[in-house]
Chains A and B, each alone.
Chain A
């Protein structure tokens, strides 16, 4: 380790005191490339010598290329909203726009954004650093491996030890040669159903790196339904503390309180990320999550609840008609208050819980 960051939070501008975090969004993306997961006429091809099929496209009509390769703009906006293949929808890469959009969060009292873009998603440490400098917002950068589609081509050959070393290096000496350090492990992608060997390696490496560095882990899903327990078992196996773990994307379980409580009883945090999911037919995730949060607070779990937005595509940005990085402050928090959630609860969820998680604990052991 290059320095002892125990008791500090690691941002893209260096370590800061946890007291300086303020109102924090624990799961966002400022820069990301998700196109690999949203190919037009996508299909998986199993290839000998690879445990993970290759995601590619079927041959498709050339005229559809025009749509796929167009910019998100007035005229084709309904395509991205339908999550149809307009590739530009799946890329956030405009630094000026990121500054403008995150300032909407700051203007309303925001202090810190955790950008959980990690390896394989075109994570951009230098741009995050510039945005932090330009806006005065604290930005915490992620590490670890995302969903299996985004794993590197040689993932089969990479050892758990090798993966662990890469995460530790991101956290302690910086990503690549940028010198910019990650401050959290995640979002660790686990699709599961079933959990693959490579996913298991990524989970175990994240857990080992958490033990060694004292960083927290934040999961994308953490497996399919009940598999979350297997994932948490492996994390424990590696010696990690479940109190340092966030189970993200709990939206799907928002109407299954008994299951959420099962998870909470193991010590983890549950997180709902709620941007851009309004519904014409059926009940929206926001409505279900709001009701779940009220119940969880009532049952004493306020100190284990996290709320964020997961801005990750162009139409989530205000510029493109979305709710932007200030959705929590502008809309969702006021809504929670109408449901009886107190100011103290809001402070716990958006200030205290992030502070506890983002502060490095004493690491121990080695690979």
Chain B
């Protein structure tokens, strides 16, 4: 891996550390200064090379844990989180659950029914083909926010990046509590921080492929659990130590988002390095959105392309909120993406895919008075401001 940012000496010492230290601890002094550069799965990149960027997507992910058939939570002594498992159910339903998504069961998958395969993205050829649709419409960078516990696939991402010539930025940190490791209760904030820092500095596992953003950090809240709080604190510390930005899955329910921001602030994170994803969910609460924006964070509308019949779609709600927020002067704090994460989201399976934003959404915004300059801000300039690293802090 060509590397003009890591000194020869650093490279050696980091490799040694990785071999010798089970906790993958990286001494603060050994954290390289990546300031002003974006870190992709193929190495560092100048932010002016990013171009049109999707800030919250998945090329490879396994979300089956939260879509089990006949799911139940089992509370256990000595664990802060229940175990999510399945009740006993008739064996014939297994055939449905374990079938591939195909003609015949497609409607069950569309309805978010129990077809396990729908919740897995694991095909490199399909990923490359789908993401090229984004490139064909002028796209050039994808932030892949699959984080720890979701079967993140660094080498596949690198191969897809090589094949498609798209920049891919990989995530790190912990997703929401169902996906936390079994021993999350025993892990300390320091250990979690070390793991995140190591992903950014030395790479994921032994792949040498480094994460370029912390997230998606899963915070469902309602209420914020102790492990979620540890994960938020670790993300904050790792952001401060490395200079990487943080991207949240929700960041809590409703106004809990403010509490999450307080925790980040207490841990010394810079709130203008923070993205609150899935803000579509609060698109009908302008007061909360403005309150969050006043704190300096980015609001990200990333469920774009989702269609509905009987209710107004998140896409439509976002399309209404965005002009309002632009009008209130927050054009430097808005980000857009699709959060493709299921098979039925892919064009291959009839979904809107990775190209809905340039293909349909931006034209729709422009028909509704949003200027080309403003869409450029959301798709190019804002990603180019949030993705480059800040200088690392040794504290």
Contacts and interface: CB of A to CB of B under 8 A. Distances in A.
A77 B109 CA distance: 14
B348 A279 contact: no
B315 to A, nearest CB: 4
Nearest to B101: A74
A284 interface: yes
B101 A277 contact: no
A326 to B, nearest CB: 10
B316 A77 contact: no
Interface in B139-169: none
B33 interface: no
Given A77-B348, A77-B350, A281-B319, A290 B310 contact: yes
Contacts of A280: 304-307, 313, 315-316, 352, 356, 360
Contacts of B348: 74-75, 77-78
Contacts of A283: 312, 316
Interface residues on B, range: 20 to 34
B50 to A, nearest CB: 26
A182 B104 CA distance: 31
Most buried by B among A74, A280, A287, A290: A280
A287 B356 contact: no
A70 interface: no
Interface stretch (A161-169, A242-250, A316-324): A316-324
A81 B312 CA distance: 20
A282 interface: yes
A286 interface: yes
A277 B309 contact: yes
Contacts of B268: none
Nearest to A80: B350
Interface in A311-339: 315, 318-324, 331-332, 335
A73 interface: yes
Interface string A99-138: 0000000000000000000000000000000000000000
B330 interface: no
Nearest to A77: B350
A72 B110 CA distance: 17
Contacts of B361: 281
B110 A335 contact: no
A78 B350 contact: yes
B310 A324 contact: no
Interface string A61-85: 0000000000011110110110000
Interface string B267-286: 00000000000000000000
Contacts of A284: 308-310
A74 B309 contact: no
A281 B364 contact: yes
A286 B315 contact: no
A332 B146 CA distance: 36
Interface string B85-111: 000000000000000011110110110
B103 A279 contact: no
A83 B310 CA distance: 21
Interface string B349-388: 1111100100011001000000000000000000000000
B309 A286 contact: yes
A278 B104 contact: no
Contacts of B351: 78
B332 interface: no
Given A280-B306, A281-B360, A335-B310, A319 B349 contact: no
B350 A315 contact: yes
B347 interface: yes
B347 A279 contact: no
B20 interface: no
B31 to A, nearest CB: 42
A321 B316 contact: no
Interface in B296-324: 304-313, 315-316, 319
A287 B311 contact: yes
A73 B100 CA distance: 14
A24 B171 CA distance: 53
B327 to A, nearest CB: 19
B360 A287 contact: no
Interface in A257-284: 277-284
A319 to B, nearest CB: 5
A278 B106 contact: no
B350 A319 contact: no
Contacts of A77: 106, 347-350
Interface in A288-329: 290, 315, 318-324
Contact of A279 (B109, B110, B307, B350): B307
Contacts of A78: 347-348, 350-353
Contacts of B311: 287
A74 B316 contact: no
Contact of B310 (A72, A282, A286, A319): A286
B313 A287 contact: no
Nearest to A282: B316
Given A279-B308, A279-B316, A321 B360 contact: no
Nearest to B364: A281
Contacts of A323: 107
Contacts of B106: 77, 318-321
Nearest to A286: B309
Given A73-B103, A74-B101, A321-B110, A331 B310 contact: yes
Contacts of A319: 103-104, 106-107
A315 B110 CA distance: 12
30 contacts: A72-B103, A74-B348, A77-B347, A77-B348, A77-B350, A78-B348, A78-B351, A78-B352, A277-B309, A278-B307, A279-B309, A279-B316, A280-B306, A280-B313, A280-B356, A281-B313, A281-B315, A281-B316, A282-B316, A284-B308, A315-B350, A318-B107, A320-B103, A320-B107, A321-B107, A321-B344, A321-B350, A331-B310, A332-B310, A335-B310
Given A277-B309, A281-B315, A318-B106, 10 more contacts: A77-B349, A78-B347, A81-B350, A280-B316, A281-B313, A287-B310, A319-B103, A321-B110, A324-B107, A335-B310
Interface of B: 101-104, 106-107, 109-110, 304-313, 315-316, 319, 344, 347-353, 356, 360-361, 364
Q: Which 8 A-B pairs have the closest CB atoms?
A: A321-B106, A77-B350, A78-B347, A318-B107, A278-B309, A280-B315, A280-B307, A278-B307
